[in-house]
């Protein structure tokens, strides 16, 4: 048996423990002795640390969620802006108060465009070797497709073939002229011109749509007897100026001056700036003058103000001495195929202006 105090083994008849001296109880009174290993004391947890860790985790989750939502919104907005910018370039002049070529967007991803499209002559024109175009090829293409632009003069008594003309004019100043075909009826109210360009494959032609503010069109073949090509000295933009004449017979007539612009895009635009209305009443003539201001409004002015406005407007422009030659519809239609070719060749060779660099 064992000592109840120190656990030392003693004989069954021992009265005292030889090791510790403690009194030995009889065997039947002894209780089993167990030795339980002592575990190190458990450290108490710190509740403040737990709170801090949980708070940091919550903040990180909130920040990450905000970033993801912002990115999704940005991608969605970019798609909307792309759709909005796909229609940038469309313009309308029916409202006389509209400022020309003004496109503004409030979207931070879109570009704000407040300047008119660049129609200046290219600083580095493409050479003949790069596109293979020649004067002969230009005329061949238009001759092969003359059914698209040649008029048969069966539309009315005024289309007699004398007021209808054909000829070359470089509208976008890229070194390859476009072909114009058009004329006017007896009153001039229905002046109409169509313009055709060689397609990008250099094997056919395409008609260029024309946007005009009025019922009639500007007569690009005549401007005070001659068409005018100006360069804006401030912007370098080249502009054709022409005049629309409308004859109202015994009631009078109207003349409107404006410019024709084409930047190689979807359509040609006409913009009117100076207006003269001559009215007859019992043999008396009344003239009304109007001018379009810088904001697009058309205002009635006196004759002196009208003349001063024209003079000031063109102070910043330089005449580039345009040269051209047009052939009447009657002459062209009556010519043989070889003569038609020669007439177009003469018109192509005659076109030019100061600084013009043809690509053919």
Helix (H) or strand (E) holding 289: strand 284-292
CA distances from 303 to 135, 138, 148, 276, 300 (A): 47, 46, 44, 10, 10
Task: Check pLDDT > 50 for residue 269.
Answer: yes
CA distance 186 to 157: 9
**What is the number of alpha carbons within 13 Å of residue 304 lying toward its C-beta?**
0
* 186-226 confidence digits (pLDDT tens): 555 567 788 999 998 899 999 999 888 776 678 777 644 56
Task: Check pLDDT > 90 for residue 144.
Answer: yes
The string of DSSP codes covering 205-240 is: EEEEPEE-SSSS--BTT-STTS-EEEEETTT--EEE
Task: Check pLDDT > 60 for residue 155.
Answer: no
Angle, nearest 10°, between helix axes 135-144 and 337-350? Answer: 130
Task: Check pLDDT > 80 for residue 129.
Answer: no
Task: Check pLDDT > 70 for residue 123.
Answer: no
* 278-293 confidence digits (pLDDT tens): 999 988 999 999 999 9
For the segment 61-78, the average pLDDT, to the nearest whole number, is: 68
Predicted local distance difference test score (pLDDT) of residue 64: 78
Please answer whether residues 169 and 351 qualify as being in contact, where contact means their C-beta atoms are separated by less than 8 angstroms: yes
What is the three-class DSSP state of 312?
Answer: helix
- Closest alpha carbon to 85 in 105, 114, 108, 60: 105
Torsion, Cα of 40, 41, 46, 47 (10° steps)? 120
Task: Check pLDDT > 90 for residue 139.
Answer: yes
CA distance 59 to 202: 64
Predicted local distance difference test score (pLDDT) of residue 10: 72
Predicted local distance difference test score (pLDDT) of residue 75: 60
Predicted local distance difference test score (pLDDT) of residue 79: 53
Domain extents for the chain? 1-38, 44-116, 128-350
Measured in degrees and rounded to the nearest 5, phi and psi for residue 125 equal -65, 145
Task: Check pLDDT > 90 for residue 337.
Answer: yes
Predicted local distance difference test score (pLDDT) of residue 128: 42
């Amino acid at each position: 048996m064992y000592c109840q105090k120190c656990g030392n083994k003693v004989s069954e008849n021992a009265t005292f423990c030889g090791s510790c001296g403690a009194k030995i109880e009889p065997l039947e009174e002894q209780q089993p002795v167990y030795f339980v290993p002592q575990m190190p004391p458990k450290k108490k947890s710190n509740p403040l640390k737990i709170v801090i860790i949980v708070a940091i985790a919550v903040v990180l989750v909130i920040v990450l969620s905000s970033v993801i939502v912002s990115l999704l919104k940005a991608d969605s907005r970019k798609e909307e802006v792309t759709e909005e910018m796909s229609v940038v370039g469309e313009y309308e002049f029916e409202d006389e108060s509209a400022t020309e070529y003004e496109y503004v967007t409030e979207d931070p991803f879109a570009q704000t465009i407040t300047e008119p499209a660049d129609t200046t002559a290219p600083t580095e024109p493409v050479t003949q070797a790069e596109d293979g175009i020649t004067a002969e090829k230009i005329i061949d293409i238009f001759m092969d497709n003359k059914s698209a632009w040649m008029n048969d003069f069966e539309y009315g008594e005024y289309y007699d073939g004398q007021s209808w003309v054909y000829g070359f004019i470089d509208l976008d100043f890229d070194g390859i002229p476009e072909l114009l075909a058009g004329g006017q009826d007896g009153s001039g109210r229905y002046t109409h011109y169509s313009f055709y360009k060689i397609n990008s494959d250099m094997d056919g032609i395409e008609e260029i749509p024309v946007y005009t503010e009025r019922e009639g069109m500007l007569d690009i073949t005549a401007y005070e007897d001659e068409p005018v090509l100006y360069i804006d000295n401030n912007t370098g933009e080249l502009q054709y100026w022409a005049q629309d004449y409308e004859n109202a017979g015994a009631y009078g007539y109207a003349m409107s001056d404006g410019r024709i612009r084409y930047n190689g895009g979807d359509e040609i635009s006409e913009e009117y700036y100076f207006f003269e209305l001559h009215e007859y009443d019992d043999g008396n003539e009344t003239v009304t003058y109007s001018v379009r201001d810088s904001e697009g409004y058309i205002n009635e002015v006196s004759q002196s103000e009208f003349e001063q406005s024209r003079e000031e407007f063109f102070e910043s422009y330089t005449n580039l001495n345009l040269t051209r030659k047009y052939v009447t519809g009657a002459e062209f239609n009556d010519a043989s195929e070889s003569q038609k070719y020669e007439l177009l060749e003469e018109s192509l060779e005659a076109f030019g202006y100061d600084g013009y660099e043809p690509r053919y």
